[in-house]
Amino acid sequence: MSKFGSASNKKEVPALSSGSLSDIVFMLLFFFMVTTQMRETENKVQVKVPVASEVVKLERKDLASYINIGAPIRSLQSTFGTEARIQLNDSFKNIDEIRDFIAAERDAMSEADRSYMTTVIRCDQDVRMGIVSDVKQELRRCSALKIMYSARKPAED
Amino acid sequence: MTTTMGDQSGLQRRLPPIPDSKQAQDQKVNRRNIIIVRINASDRLFAGTEALEISQLKDKIKEFLTNPANDPNLPEKEMTDIPGYGQYPISKGVISLQNDRGTSYQAYIAAQNELVKAVNELRDDFSRQAYGRPFISLTEEQQSIVKTAIPQNISEAEPKDVTKK
């Protein structure tokens, strides 16, 4: 067989078949289509959530509403300063606007799902608890009692 | 438009409802059944009256909840009939977590995490003893029995100034 011919036979590398190129491209495309999700709102505050080892997954993502707390992002710091702010949907809000926000979120849900509504507090790890306590008190007042402190798993184990 | 990889995980909690002004603070909890975990403005941790490191908190809570020596200063236990399991002394202990307005969020979550970890480890111990398997691989029915036997009573206290004390 010529394949196992003498060493003097110069070996030629066969040309790379480009037939499976489209398979690879589509596989990558589908992978990213499945794993990524659109971010509904633009972040206006910097949030680096703290680390916690006992985190649980949020069960129903569609029933969650998000409250972001943190310092404004760098490009907005000239207008809004570096003090921690609350972001609801797309803009900075005050404590007393949480009530309207929760009411709006609640209205958007079906009657049966309302009791399962979870408010996810995404708060930066360097924020002082004062503002978080205010938010919690306000949530209690609008009886949105199911909350979740957003946190990430530690990198090791 | 930006995209994210899903990172929706965290610590779930239930806030206490706002108490009615009429029946204000009616339910007194027995002194021995409550442990107050406090974090002050400089992120120092106190359990009861003694200062603790965050790494010691878990064991302190576990001791508080199990009360292995039936210490009269630690929470009482109530023999309760759990359907599907039988008699089990359920601890009446409540953990109250208090913080200051100046406490950092990171320290607060770290303390929350230790409390949850203490309860989770107790549940795991119980599961292994009763069913020979860790809590996570039990059936849903068994999990709810374990949850009844070892409740997670963490109270998010009314905010108050810790510095005053």
Per-residue pLDDT 10s for chain B (165 aa) are 455 555 678 888 888 777 665 554 545 667 778 888 888 888 888 887 788 888 888 888 888 888 777 777 777 777 777 777 778 888 888 888 888 888 888 888 888 888 888 888 888 888 888 888 888 888 888 888 888 888 888 877 666 554 443
Which of B68, B120, B115 has its CA nearest to residue B91? B68
Query: Where do the structural domains in chain B lie, given as residue ranges?
Result: 31-156
Asked whether the predicted pLDDT for residue A24 surpasses 90, the reply is yes
Which of B109, B115, B110, B163 has its CA nearest to residue A132? B109
Residues 6+ apart with CB under 8 A from B59: B118
Q: Using 50, 70 and 90 to split pLDDT, how confident is the model at A31?
A: very high
Q: Inspect the interface and report whether the beta carbons of B18 and A151 lie closer than 8 Å.
A: no
Average pLDDT over residues A37-62: 79
Q: Taking the mean position of all CA atoms in its chain, how far away is CA A59? A: 14
Instruction: Output the average pLDDT for chain A.
Output: 82
User: Does the model's pTM come out above 0.90?
Assistant: no
pLDDT at A8: 54
Distances (CA, A) of A97 to A72, A94, A138, A139, B118: 18, 5, 9, 11, 36
Question: Which of A52, A57, A64 is nearest residue B109 as measured by Cβ atoms?
Answer: A52
Strands B9-14 and A146-150: antiparallel
Q: Using 50, 70 and 90 to split pLDDT, how confident is the model at A27?
A: very high
- For chain B positions 93-152, those within 8 Å of chain A (CB to CB) are 99-106, 108-110, 112-113, 116-117, 120
Looking from the CA of B10 toward its CB, the CA atoms found within 13 Å total 26
Whether residue B17 lies within 8 A of chain A, CB to CB, comes out as yes
A115-135 pLDDT, tens digit each: 888 888 888 888 888 888 888
pLDDT at B10: 82
Chain A residue numbers touching B102 (CB-CB < 8 A): 128-130
Rounded Cα distance, B133 and B112, in Å: 26
| Domains of chain A as residue ranges with CATH | 45-149 (3.30.420.270)
